[in-house]
Structure 1
Amino acid sequence: MGKTRTPYPAEFRAQMVELVKAGRTPQELAREFEPTAQTITNWVAQAERDAGVRHDGLTTAERQELTRLRRENRQLKMERDI
């Protein structure tokens, strides 16, 4: 099973995204900081989705809404079954 850790703070993720936008590579940053290059690449892609640059997935807001709606749906199903 993979190693799990506490999520990186939003400020740290934003800082990594800005460094990539400024010209640093995810591989460089991975050597200097703890996250893997793939993790940093994922953060950059998500930031681009949130900014409307990419359209190949859900934005953070859409993800949060989907999670909330699924939770609400699960709760309503439980209440209905009682």
Structure 2
Amino acid sequence: MPKPRRTFTAEFKKQMVQLYESGKSRANIIKEYDLSASAFDRWITQSQKTGSFKEKNNRTEEENELLALRKENQRLKMENDILKQAALIMGRK
């Protein structure tokens, strides 16, 4: 049975990274605080890259562009659907 998902504050993540940077072993931190290795590694990378643990602050330019294009595509589909409905209504008159 999988463990329930836990959330950690930015302060906690920062403290874990500081423990690691001050010389405590990765394995000991993961074991002692019952963390997943992938999450802990992500925190280290985020801390070194941007100093922020927010996903949006750690996205690449390509990821930001993809999200913007998806959002625009969704908006255009909605506008298209509205125009189709309007054309149907106008065609009936």
Provide the TM-score with structure 1 as the length reference: 0.62
Instruction: Give 1 or 2: higher helix fraction.
Output: 2
In 1, the alpha carbon distance for the partners of 2:69 and 2:6 equals: 23
- Taking the aligned partners of 1:80 and 1:60, their CA distance within structure 2 comes to 27
Flag as ranges the 4+ runs of structure 1 deviating above 3 A. none
Three-state SS of the structure 1 residue aligned to 2:16 is helix
Task: Report which of the two structures shows the higher radius of gyration computed on alpha carbons.
Answer: 2
Q: Aligned residues: percent identity? A: 25
Q: Give the TM-score of the pair, scaled to structure 2.
A: 0.57
Runs of at least 5 residues in structure 1 that lack an aligned partner in the other structure: 52-58
Q: Unaligned regions of 5+ residues in structure 2, if any? A: 82-93
Asked whether the 8 Å contact 1:29–1:37 carries over to 2, the reply is: no
User: In the aligned structure 2, how far is the partner of 1:60 from the partner of 1:49?
Assistant: 13
- Across the aligned residues of Structure 1 and Structure 2, the Cα RMSD in angstroms comes to 3.2
